Amino acid sequence: MLTTKQRSKLKSLANTLKPAVIIGKGELTESVIGEIDRALYHNELVKVSSLKSCESSAKSMCIEVCEALNCQPVLVVGNRFVVYKRSDKEGIEHIDID
């Protein structure tokens, strides 16, 4: 579970991010969850956007993604959400949230 201070730091880092994954009309599928998982492995902090034609809310999709991938929700605004998961990948600069 992220503390308020950690979430605040991650929110500030997420401001400059562009959406790594865009969810279309096809809703949240296993392949989209797989893409988010790959993005988390490489970047630790991922912004996801959904098109206006997507019928699910960003909040419900964020909850579903967090349950499926065991990641932490950072921010949900409008049709976008941001998730965080510490990566096991070596050779990348890990986000220091402490």
Residue 92 forms part of a structural domain: no
How far is Cα 61 from Cα 24, in angstroms, rounded to an integer?
A: 12
71 lies in which domain range?
Answer: 4-84
Q: pLDDT tens digits, residue range 15-30?
A: 999 999 999 887 899 9
Q: Averaged over 38-63, what is the pLDDT? A: 93
**Tokens for 77?**
């605004």
Residue 95 forms part of a structural domain: no
* Local structure of residue 19 (DSSP, 8 states): P
Global pTM reads 0.93
| Number of domain units in the chain | 1
Residue 71 forms part of a structural domain: yes
CATH of the domain at 62: 3.30.110.60
CB 61 within 8 A of CB 28: yes
Place of tokens 């490489």: 42
How far is Cα 93 from Cα 95, in angstroms, rounded to an integer?
A: 7
